Structure 1
Amino acid sequence: MKLARRERYFVSGAALFLAVFFIFQFLISPFFDARRRVGRGVSAKQDGLEEIVKLSSEYNRYRKGSQGIKQILAERKKGFTLFSFLEKEARDAGVKNSIKYMKPSVSAGSGPHKESLVEMKLEAITLKQLSGYLWRIESTENAVSIKRISVKENKKKAGRIDAILQVLTFQ
């Protein structure tokens, strides 16, 4: 069976079209799909690596902070107790007579050190007395800090305040 010239061109064009279609469908398209998939995988791995680097630097910062606390605790006076420290500083600041109560407690904490906590209530003191006392007790050399403070106006004496403090240190 002989085909006319025009029919041969038509069949050749159709065969060429099918060849290009199959080459694109089975060679080129899968190549670009795989390349896109690998690119997404690399991007996800880079994000994971960045997260690991961030967590590593955060861990190192916490570890250095822990070493600093260990050094501070080692340099602190032997026999240091938070309760007696707060009592002494209250006497020196002139607010000892305003102490309503002091409740000590010790907890394991989330790190290698035990937390020593004292909750105390100061009644009918001035703002100046409170700020002076806070300045005295919050010290880096003894690793003492204020965990929580609640201040409200004293109802009985005008110009006076009541304060509840939670003071924290490590052992």
Structure 2
Amino acid sequence: MAESVGDFSFTAMLDRMRRREKNALGVLAALLVAILLYEGICAPLLRWRQRQRAIIAVKTAQLQQLSTSLDEFRSIEKRLLLLQNMIDTRRRDFTLFSFLNQISETLDLGKHIVLMKPTHPETIGPYRLARIEMKWKDVGLDTLVQWLGQVEESGNLVHVQKLALQPSTENPVLLDVGIQVQTLER
């Protein structure tokens, strides 16, 4: 007796299948369940884990950069404290103009000074950045080197910012010098 098309029964269909067909259907069903489990649970977990590793790598790089920046900051802070200490222990009556004039007179450069002009000081925190522009005419190289050494190595935080040298028009052995010197003052 044949069943009609409208009376479809899964159990009746299984009864009519051979053992090999039943096994194949079971394998297909297991494969379908495995794919659904992988796509529904495993794949999202693997993607989440990969995102977390990428986030950790970025955060680790940021932490390393922050650590490097902190080390740089501490180094700059130490140098700043050292500079502040040097400025604070300098004589109270120290001025850049008188300091440069004194060194120039010591080396007998006073007669070679054509210009010694202070520029407008800039305020940096509790200090002023004082600059002086100087021009000399007919100065020997040895004398210039001595002057630069005394200025830079004085321990008064005086630095040569610009230096321009030209052979003297009157005596090619001597130099015409343009120089800009700066320091921090209270």
- Give your verdict on TM over 0.5: yes
2:122 to 107, 112, 126: 107
For 2:85, the aligned partner's letter is Q
2:69 to 55, 65, 74: 55
Question: What is the TM-score when the length of structure 2 is the normalising length?
Answer: 0.84
Give aligned pairs, total: 170
Shift of 1:9: 2.2
Is the contact made by 1:139 and 1:145 (CA closer than 8 Å) also made in structure 2? Answer: no
Is the contact made by 1:116 and 1:169 (CA closer than 8 Å) also made in structure 2? Answer: yes
Matched with 1:130 is 144
Matched with 1:29 is 43
For 1:35, the aligned partner's letter is R
Query: How far apart in 2 are the matches of 1:32 and 1:152?
Result: 72
Is the contact made by 1:114 and 1:170 (CA closer than 8 Å) also made in structure 2? Answer: yes
Query: How far apart in 2 are the matches of 1:75 and 1:120?
Result: 27
Is the counterpart of residue 168 in structure 1 residue 154 in structure 2?
A: no
Structure 1 or 2, whichever has the larger Rg, is 2
Matched with 1:116 is 130
Query: How far apart in 2 are the matches of 1:97 and 1:137?
Result: 18
Is the contact made by 1:107 and 1:116 (CA closer than 8 Å) also made in structure 2? Answer: yes
What pairs up with 1:124-163 in 2 under 5 angstroms?
A: 124-139=138-153, 141-163=155-177
Shift of 1:140: 5.1
Question: What is the TM-score when the length of structure 1 is the normalising length?
Answer: 0.90
2:80 to 45, 49, 66: 66
Cα RMSD, aligned residues only: 1.6
